[in-house]
Amino acid sequence: MVNPNVAGKKYPETDIYLVGRGKIREFANAVFSTSPLNPDVFASQAAGFSDVIAPPTFPVVIQERSLSAVLNDPEADIDFSRVVHGDQRFISVRPIVAGDELTSVLTVASVKSLGAHSMVTFNTEIFDANRDLVCTA
């Protein structure tokens, strides 16, 4: 059972993640994206972007870095072998573009007991190098 006392706990900001073209292209292939803006620099530039843009679900890559902090926190007491992923949402402020330098901050939004199990909701804010919010996952 997850420690309910971690509800509201904010974890430290992650190290910078430099978004690369190759990572965007790999992710786009993995999710079967058909958008020409993911692999094609010229198509992305014609659409007004500086470089290729990431698919809308790419922020999960950044969120994963924040999740490792909470999963390794003994106070949280989360047994990852028993985790079931139930829901995921992204609120994007702007697309993620190759060359972005992103960090994230995770907060445990809630911990609900469900019998012998717990449902944990995380809120991860993703920021660019200017500290502007890019996405909330």
Q: Which two tokens stand for residue 59?
A: 């922020």
CA angle 33/37/41 to nearest 5° reads 130
| 84-137 per-position pLDDT tens digit | 777 899 999 999 999 999 999 999 999 888 887 788 899 999 999 999 999 999
| 48-73 per-position pLDDT tens digit | 999 999 999 999 999 999 999 998 99
Q: Count Cα atoms within 13 angstroms, Cβ side, for 110.
A: 5
CA angle 14/60/113 to nearest 5° reads 90
Beta pairing partners, 123: 107
Coil/strand/helix, residue 119: strand
Q: Specify the pLDDT at position 122.
A: 93
In the predicted structure, residue 43 carries a pLDDT above the cut 90: yes
CB atoms within 10 A of CB 123: 15
Q: Do 95 and 54 form a contact (C-beta atoms < 8 A)?
A: yes
Phi, psi (degrees; rounded to nearest 5) at 8:
90, -10
Beta pairing partners, 113: 118
Q: Do 28 and 38 form a contact (C-beta atoms < 8 A)?
A: yes
